[in-house]
Each structure stands twice: as C-alpha cells, then as structure tokens.
Amino acid sequence: MTVSAPSASHDKLSWFTRIAYGLGDTAQNVVWGAMSILTFFYTDYAGVDPTIVGLVMLLSRCFDGVSDVCMGFIVEHTHSRWGKARPWILWMSVPFAISIVLLYLVPQGSSALQFAYIFVTYNFCTTVCYTAMNLPYGSLSAMMTHLSKERDMLSITRMTLSPLGKILSVSATLPLIKLFGDTQWAWVEVMSIWALLALLLLLICFYKCEERVQPVAKKVAQKIPVKTALKALAYNRYFWMATGLWTMQACIALFTGTILPYYCKYIFLDDSLYSILFLVETFTTILATILFCPRLLKRFGKRNMSLYGIVLAFFGHLAYLLDPYSFNWVLFSCFIRGLCFAPLNSVIFGFFGDVVDYSQWKFHIRQEGLIFSGGSVGNKIGGGIVSALLTGLLSYAGYVSSVTASAVQPQSAINMIVTLYEYGPLIIWGIVIVILWCYKLDQLYPQIMRDLVRRAERGED
C-alpha cells in the first residue's frame, strides 16, 4: 500500500479547526461530567443499592470493551463522502443526546426492575452511542494531519476545552437540581439541558474537522485480515503502554469523581462543596495546560514532561495525608492533582497518534481506528473495575442507600470513604510512573518519521 509523504503546509491546522475539534470533547464532557456523579444519583436519589450499581458498571464495561473492538473495525471499513471517522460524529449525535436523558428515568420498584433498567439504559448510552461516536472522534485526530506536533496541539486543545464541559455540568448540575426541586425528576430536566448543548457542539465539530490523511491509495487499497490486524496490535508494546496511561487517566477521574461527592456529604456535611473542589482542580488543569504544557512539550517531550508531573502529583498527595479531615488539605490535594496531572492529561491522545505511526513503521499496517478502539477497551474495562471496586467496598463497609437526605451512615462507611481517598490516588500515580519510565517511543520517533517519508517517496508502505 502506498502512503503520501507528510507535507508541512498541507498538514498545518488552523486554530479554528483545533478549537472545533476540541469542542467535540467539550460536548461529550458536558454530559460525561455530570455522569461522573452518576453513582451518587443512583444511590441517593433513585435509591439503588450500591452493589447493583457496581455490578451493572462492571458487566457493562466488559460489553463496552467488545463494542470498542467492533467499532474499531467498523471505522476502518467505513467509506462515505465525509471519510471513515468523521461521519460517525454526525450519525450518533442525536442518539447520544437521547440516551443521556434515559439514564435518569430509573423507575421505583424492585431491585430486579432497577437492575434491568439501569443495565439497558447504561449500555445503550455507553456501549452503543458513546462508543460509536467517541472512538471515531478520537481516531479522527490521526486522520486530520500527518504531523506529530500538530496532533499534539490537537490533543492540547482538546484537553483544554474538554474540562470546560465538565466545569459547566459539574459545577452547575447539583445547584440546578436543588433549584428545580432536588428530586429525581430535577436530574432529568437538568440532563436534558446538557444533552441539547452537547448536540450543538458536536455538530460544530463535525462541520469543521475534515479528514486530510489518506494513507492508502484507493486504487491499491487492500483489506487487512482481522487476524493480522489483531496480531500487530498485540505485539505493539507502545500500544499497551499508551492504553495503560489512558486507563489510569480514566481511573483517577472516575475515582475522585465517585468518592469526593460522598466525602463532601459525609465528612464535611455539605455535598455542594464538591463543586468547589471540582472547579479548583479543573481550572488549575486548564490554566496549566494553556500556560505551561506547550512550553514543557517543546522542551521535554511528551514522556518526560508527563513523568515529572506525575512524580510531583504523587508527593503532593502525600501532603494531604497530614490531615485528611481538613477541607483545606482536601482542597490542596485537588489543586496539586490539577496542576501536576495537566502535562499527561494534555497529550494523552498524542501518545496514540505516535503509536499509529509506530505501527505503520514496525508492522507495515496503519490502523487508526483499531488502535484508538483497542486503547478504549482497556480504558473502559479499567474504569468498570474501579467502579465495581469502589461500590463494592462501600457496600462492604455498610453504606446505606436512601432517597432521603436524613440517612445516617455507620462509622465503618465513613472510614472507608476516607481510606479510599487517602490511598487510591497513590496507587494510580505509582502505576503511571512505572509505565512512563518504560516508555521510549519519544526517542525513537524522529527516526520513524524519516523512514516513513523515505518509504512514501519510494511508493512503499
């Protein structure tokens, strides 16, 4: 198969295009941000047992992992006038918006009825709609430009704008819910607003982000056997490292998003404080991404700047252990996490763009859709395991689910909430440090691109 040589002038993207691409993730996180406290909604507004919630999420993540791989192959074999990844943003935008609202219409009744409803609606949202839109969206960045630096800037812009959706939804969701009556139906009304906003932003993203990279000439395109594609993926060690980083990124967001609302409600006796903690962490991440990450990226590269940041985050969280019952120390932990996690968070998808080039160089197969979908499998299964673990530990500690605000938790549940927040982030940071220490693709990448350009000039794969 032939590959066109990279052209700096052709692959340079305008800021309008970068922003439009980033708004695609803003749209998803307007909704996803509110869903970060979905467990809190299930247990304290819908009255669902945390064990049921954990079981649904664990099982759903397994199905979700299968759908990711399937979607990767679907993207690779999609041919439309808009390309192979871009059209899915359009096709799935409306179903995704509808699926969000359905999540919050949990019926009151038996545990079996609630389990069935949550399982169906959660999988319709995540396994079907979100997967069919998010994976093509992620792989689209590798199809918009050949240049690694441009992909890094797309990632930085994406991760700068992405938190804006979370800021809006997380900071405003609980106050709006209280304004609308602080009931389950109030959640439905608020999520309907977020769904409509997400739909508008997704349409903007679709309109502006065109696929420019045409790695395979149509006249000589050949279908890659499934076995060959999966084998190349399995033997790509940098794919596994990038997947591990993406999984840990999801785990820390899910972990803190799940535990902190409980922490604020039962340790500080005011769940509205969660919005303050979230805003501090998110605004810190955005400012650090805008002010520092482009300069750090230019000086140190993706791997080194990410490693330095995570090491600082690890030691910063240790300081919080001095007084875990102090709001100021919890606030500090959110600030240091937002500041030091920003480098890795800003370029996480740039890692995958480089993995695509590495796969083409090493195995002579360029497979954007499958690499991004394969990475998402680990991301979602890891997140499902974390969700199941957290809800299982809360249930084990005797957590009382109730739709009434007067529910009293046993001390064992309170202690579990504190313990989880004390040591969970340290475990995640430790795993990330090990992965980044072993990651060497940044050093190899210049040679990879020189070889790919020479192959393209000779008409080789």
Task: Annotate 299-332 with DSSP letters as a single string.
Answer: HHHHHHHHHHHHHHHHHHHHHHTT-TT-HHHHHH
What's the pLDDT at 403? Answer: 54
pLDDT in the model for residue 218: 42
The owner of tokens 């040589």 is 5
Confidence at residue 310, expressed as pLDDT on a 0 to 100 scale? 95
CB atoms within 10 A of CB 14: 9
The pLDDT of residue 221 is: 42
pLDDT at 307: 96
The residue count for the chain: 461
Which residues of the chain fall short of a pLDDT of 50?
1-6, 8-9, 216-221
* Residue in the structure block whose two tokens are 């596994």: 240
- pLDDT for 348 equals 87
**DSSP assignments along 36-48, one per residue:** TTHHHHHHHTS--
With contact defined as beta carbons under 8 Å apart, do 118 and 42 qualify? Answer: yes
- Reported as a single tens digit per residue, the pLDDT across 283-303 is 898 889 888 888 898 889 899
Domains (range + CATH), the chain = 12-209+224-400+409-449 (1.20.1250.20)
Residue 434 has a pLDDT of: 97
What are 409's two structure tokens?
């938790």
